[in-house]
Structure 1
Amino acid sequence: MILLIQMNSSHHIILIWILQNLMNSTEYQHIENLAQALIDRWLNSDWEFRWDRAKTRLGLCDFQRKTIQLSRPLAAQQNEQQMRDTLLHEIAHALAGPRAGHGKKWQAIARQIGATPQRCAEISADPEHIGARYVLKDQQGNIYKYYYRKPTRTIQRLQQSWIRGRKKQTFGQLIIEKI
């Protein structure tokens, strides 16, 4: 069933929050169980799984804390295969070491453990729908960037700023607007 509702952006945020919370705890628990099983298979017992609240990336390998992390807000919008691939991607980072990045060593390990050896997952989420509060746009209303906090440094330099490849159209024409 598709339900079309006309609403403003604050209603969007509330609706997305409601939809994300409809993903019940058993679904999150399923992902946690999958994460723990993969960590147990490929890493030593020092490593653990954690949720975080990231809005611009799906997964993270934290070498200092020895954690594999997933974004709880973005997980609600991904399927199980995407979550599995992201977990394996981050585990490949843990196995390759902190200096490997997305280089050949990491790619070989990612393939070996069954991850897609790509730099970033395709995140099927519009940032506005996951909590962005400000936008950088031109005076015609074209949005160029979303912000989750008020960008103070950017605001100070807007009169001398432009969008790369669109200097003629955007120089001195950019504004930050609260959504």
Structure 2
Amino acid sequence: MPPEEQALRLAEALLFASDRPVATARLAAALGEEGDAAAVLSALRDRYAGRGVEVVEVAGGWAFRTAPDLAPALTRVIEVPKRLPRAAMEALAAIAWRQPVTRAEIEDLRGASLSQNSLDALLEAGLIAPRGRKESPGRPVLWGTTPRFLEQFGLRSLAELPRQEDLLAPENAGSAPLGPPPA
């Protein structure tokens, strides 16, 4: 078997077996000096283009994902994960855009208190994690998103998040996003 084909097979097996996106550096280590990880990933993407699964860059690595055009058909036969409550989603948005943030800062941004159940739901889903403590009285926990957050939302990095200003309707363009309603 040609070395190029062996490298493709190794990359394919690594992506398939991994429960997380595989970083290019990790593939390069697996390939050793004989393989060019970027070229192998490009060839693997080409090989899977137009198939039921595709090789995509997500959360700082590479993974197999269902072809986007097949997703609607799969939602009829695959169990859909439990949806997060609105308060948890609002907290997740605040964390994603302003991280690292404390619980009090999340509450200020939302304009409402945040229950421990909402934080627990985000932690249980693996979407957020503690990122240290703030150097202020009480040393509150700082929260940030995880690689699982990027995977869940199909993002390569946080830089791909839409800007908050772009999400506001034109009539709200002057108001502060994620903050309490104007008095």
Shorter-chain TM-score: which interval?
Answer: under 0.3
TM-score normalised by structure 2 residue count: 0.25
Point out the structure with the larger helix share. Answer: 2
Asked which structure has the greater RCO (Cα within 8 Å, sep 6+), the reply is 2
Larger Rg: 2
